[in-house]
Amino acid sequence: MKVAMVSEHASPLATLGGVDAGGQNVHVAALAGALADRGHDVVVYTRADSSDLPPRVQMGPGVAVDHVPAGPAVQVAKDDLLPYMGEFADVLAMRWRADPPDVVHAHFWMSGVASINAAATCGVSVLQTFHALGTVKRRWQGDADTSPAARIELERHVACAASRIIATCTDEVAELSAMGVPVGHVDVVPCGVDLSLFTPAAGPARPQRRPPRLLIVGRLVPRKGVEEAIRALALIPDAELVVVGGPGADELDQDPEVVRLRQVMAECGVAQRVRLTGHLPHEDLPAMIRSSDVLLAVPWYEPFGITALEAMACGVPVVASAVGGMLDTVVPGVTGLLAASRDPDSIAAAIEELLSDEHRRAAMGRAGAERVRRYYGWEQVAERTEESYARALRHQPVSSPQRVLR
């Protein structure tokens, strides 16, 4: 098939770790590559956020990235991009009329808005992966939610207009159902892990570390739960916490979230036991994960939670918030433990339970690695995504979807 992927703010070529660059970038890049490995031709359409970008970049065999001119050629926060989606859609429509894809796969709600609008002039099937839903974000962030006011209503239009929805977890299916989307309209296909990069440690088991190391990997934004992890650490006297993510190490002192987190560390009396590394290259993450005793994935909410899977792939047990995709990926008592989100006491209790039993941690690490190999490699994810594309094409409507943004 000729597959058009649309990822308006999350370029598969972007450097990870910024406020708007994370799991979606990895997902789009890896899925595009895995589909190409299965013989498909993939073009990823993303917004040109720099005047220095070439119109097209060949990312790999069978995968090209097109930089779409829409709005100013500068970086714009994703929550401010909606006014440019009409222009984005017009460019997509022009290109798809000249060279129509067999299927369009939109990533994130604004990509869905643009894709549905473009498809209305081209008669092509659109599948939608939201990666995050506005209803969930609004529920957890309240007045701090900077999404456009129209987001939730536009998401509902996109969900109903798309040929199929590809949800990343079963929790998302329930959220979509509450929005009025028929369950039969939704396929669940999880995110994947690069099994050639994220692997268990070779050789004999590592001797128990003193002090034991806890690790968080992710963007430095409040919802990722770093503050809750710091407060949990204060309840565990014999452990250290390493936090990977955010800007580069030389820029940490100027980062507002780092300043806030250091105040929390001082308040809790754990400043000497927390180390902020800043951004690390993606290829350096497996070694960092393998150096830890427990990976903490404790966000307030999480559409999927890729770091939990990456830790499991490396043979490291996980303490995860009982939210979103981690309800699917982490098997309590087998590959890790679940804790209540935004609850340092619950997080600390789960950590202490794991740190108290070295042999149990090792068994969980082995079980986690086996679970990821069996279900979450990108080859398996691409095959299931391909099946969803085929379902959409078998039931392609005679008429084109209606525009959702005018």
In the chain, ranges of CATH 3.40.50.2000 domains: 2-192+378-394, 213-375
Model pLDDT for residues 283-309, shown as the tens digit of each residue: 999 999 999 999 999 999 888 889 999
What does pLDDT average to over the chain? 93
How is residue 386 written in tokens?
A: 């391909």
How is residue 343 written in tokens?
A: 């609850």
Model pLDDT for residues 209-236, shown as the tens digit of each residue: 679 999 999 989 999 999 999 999 999 9
Rounded Cα distance, 293 and 3, in Å? 41
What mean pLDDT do residues 61-81 have? 96
Supply the pLDDT for residue 17. Answer: 44
Res. 147: pLDDT tops 90? yes
Q: How many CA atoms lie within 13 A of 214 on its CB side?
A: 28
Taking alpha carbons only, the member of 356, 337, 256 closest to residue 297 is 337
Question: Taking CA 125 as the corner, what is the angle to CA 71 and CA 109, rounded to the nearest 5 degrees?
Answer: 40
What are the backbone dihedrals phi and psi of residue 281, each rounded to the nearest 5 degrees, phi first? -55, 145
How is residue 240 written in tokens?
A: 């250290």
Rounded Cα distance, 141 and 305, in Å? 18
Predicted TM-score (pTM) of the model is 0.88
The CATH homologous superfamily to which domain 213-375 belongs is Glycogen Phosphorylase B; (3.40.50.2000)
Per-residue pLDDT band for 144 (boundaries 50, 70, 90) equals confident
Rounded Cα distance, 215 and 290, in Å? 10
Which residue do the tokens 């490699």 mark?
A: 377
Taking a C-beta distance cutoff of 8 angstroms, is the pair 190, 381 a contact? yes
- Give CATH for domain 2-192+378-394: 3.40.50.2000
Supply the pLDDT for residue 22. Answer: 66
